Amino acid sequence: MKNSWWILTGVLAVTGCGPSTGVDEESHVAVAALEAGATASVCAPRPYGTEVASTAATTEPTVYGVQGPLPVRVASDVPNALWPEMPITVYRPDDRASYPVLFYSHAYGGSDHTHVAPLLQRLASNGYNVVFVPYMNTGTRNSQYDTLWNGFVAAAKQYGSRFDLTRVGFIGHSFGGGATPEMARRAFADPTHNGLTSAWGSAGRFMFIMAPWFSFPNLKNPTATNDHYRDLPLDVKTVIQVYADDDTNDHLIAVNDIWNKLPPDLQEKGWQLVKSDGCEGQWLNAGHSTPAGYSSTPPGSWDNGHDLWAVARRIHALAAYALKGSGAVARAIAFPSTADALGLGNWKGCGGRAVVPMEASATTPILSACGGGGDATAQEYVFTYSAAAHCTWSDTGAPACR
């Protein structure tokens, strides 16, 4: 695993801590610098500091990532034949109009939709149907993927004309992030093989993939070279977002399983790296659970600055750009390149300084030295799931464990 990082240093940008002289010393220096109001690009100390549980500590975004004007109806009323005990939940504008559809694949074990309710509510209030399908923690990868897919199709059938299936986005986190390209492949590239009469997303389509776990396609005709996502339409706008202090999923999983398997001439794709930051003893931790927000109780307390600026804002902008024809402003936020577009708001303390911005690239995955090595002389921590363990977790067969 360590060797693979050094092999890739010539072709992958690596950013983050740099060499560490020890966790205790680094933590003390990091906290002191940030509480003094200095702008510092650092890895979060171990253990993390007290995380901000709401948006109160930072400014809020405008236009994209905000609560929209539409009232939202939430209903867990769609049965899934592959997991009858857990119905599918749909967040939708509370009227009878037709809206684009966003299909959300949750993290492993995150089958309770309330874990990401603020995000789903915010997206629905801006004019999107959002479908959340639970899948079980047991079974094969294929059965879990099939449960997701069957649920998406079941929701589309039940809601009929209220779902505009010509405008579709797939969103996923962790296990669901790894599943997202396969869900998109079934909908966009191989529809008739997967129970559809025609492809979804003919008028607009995207993928937004967060901290993905291993990705396992279920191909009708697998190729010897295992280029399993190369048949996606070239107009699928794609964003992969990873988190600098993710000690669960190796960023190289996103590179090897997804980024390198996409069509090489995909029209628009982007890579985003979100970093941790702190101010006056409070932290926005860019850990693995970032898309699910603050990991505590009660439900609904998961809505902090990173949830709004890094996640909701980027998904909303990508959806508006890909599905509703919004122009340069939406595109600049979905595929950021300028300092302003990369921004993640400002702290209300620390003299109002900017939250450490994300980094992004349209061509090169940006890895963090905070986890798994990178250009650091000593690892801050090791990943729970390394890229090298891909085949260990596969039950889909050859070639190359798909």
Q: Taking a C-beta distance cutoff of 8 angstroms, is the pair 246, 371 a contact?
A: yes
Q: What is the mean pLDDT of residues 228-254?
A: 92
Q: How confident is the model at residue 246 (pLDDT cuts 50, 70, 90)?
A: confident
Residue 83 lies in a domain: yes
> What is the span of the domain harbouring residue 132?
2-393
Beta strands in 95-185 (DSSP E): 99-105, 129-132, 163-173
Q: How many residues does the chain have?
A: 402
User: Who's near 220: CB < 8 A, 6+ residues apart?
Assistant: 190, 193
pLDDT for 38-48, tens place per residue? 333 456 665 56
For the stretch 181-212, pLDDT in tens is: 999 999 999 899 899 999 999 999 999 999 99
399 in a structural domain: no
User: For residue 313, what pLDDT is reported?
Assistant: 97
Angstrom distance (rounded) from CA 402 to CA 332: 34
Look at residue 19 and tell me if it is in a domain.
yes
Residue 402 belongs to some domain of the structure: no
The answer to whether the Cα torsion of 115, 117, 120, 123 is positive or negative is negative
Residues paired with residue 171 on neighbouring β-strands, in sequence order: 104, 208
Report angle CA 271, 110, 191 to the nearest 5 degrees: 65
Question: Is 54 or 105 the better-scoring residue by pLDDT?
Answer: 105
pLDDT, residue 394, reads 84
**pLDDT higher than threshold 90 for residue 139:** no
Here the CATH number for the domain that contains residue 368 is 3.40.50.1820
For 273, half-sphere exposure in the C-beta direction (CA atoms, 13 angstrom radius) is 27
Q: Is the pLDDT of residue 376 over 50?
A: no
Q: Higher pLDDT residue, 46 or 176?
A: 176
Q: Is 61 inside any structural domain?
A: yes
Q: What is the mean pLDDT of residues 59-69?
A: 94
218 against 270, higher pLDDT: 270
Residue 370: pLDDT over 90: no
pLDDT of residue 5: 26
The pLDDT confidence band at residue 173, using thresholds 50, 70 and 90, is very high
Query: Does residue 308 lie within any of the structural domains?
Result: yes
Is residue 216, in this structure, part of any structural domain at all? yes
* Domain count across the chain: 1
Which pLDDT value is given to residue 115? 87
Tell whether 401 is covered by a domain: no
